[in-house]
Amino acid sequence: MFEYTQQILLKVSFDKVLFRKELKKAVKWLKSDERRMLMVWCIATFGHRYSDIISEVFRQVSRS
């Protein structure tokens, strides 16, 4: 599931709204260890572009 999520995020990364939507879905589906890996991967891959979205989504997950 982690690899599938990476593929989806790469495909929708051209659009900020789609990226946020797919990232939110992904963090709901993934197990906690996969979520941590996804966060690291997202920061490394999209941090320069979507750091605000990445922070927001993973902050919401940690509150839940």
This prediction has a pTM of 0.91
How far is the C-alpha of 57 from the C-alpha of 39, rounded, in Å? 10
Greater confidence (11 vs 1) lies with 11
Amino acid at site 23: L
Flag whether pLDDT at 4 surpasses 80.
yes
The stretches of the chain forming alpha helices (DSSP H) are 2-12, 16-29, 32-63
How far is the C-alpha of 6 from the C-alpha of 41, rounded, in Å? 8
pLDDT digits (tens, 9 = 90+) for 12-47: 999 999 999 999 999 999 999 999 999 999 999 999
Whether residue 64 contacts residue 34, with contact meaning beta carbons closer than 8 Å, is answered with: no
Flag whether pLDDT at 1 surpasses 80.
yes
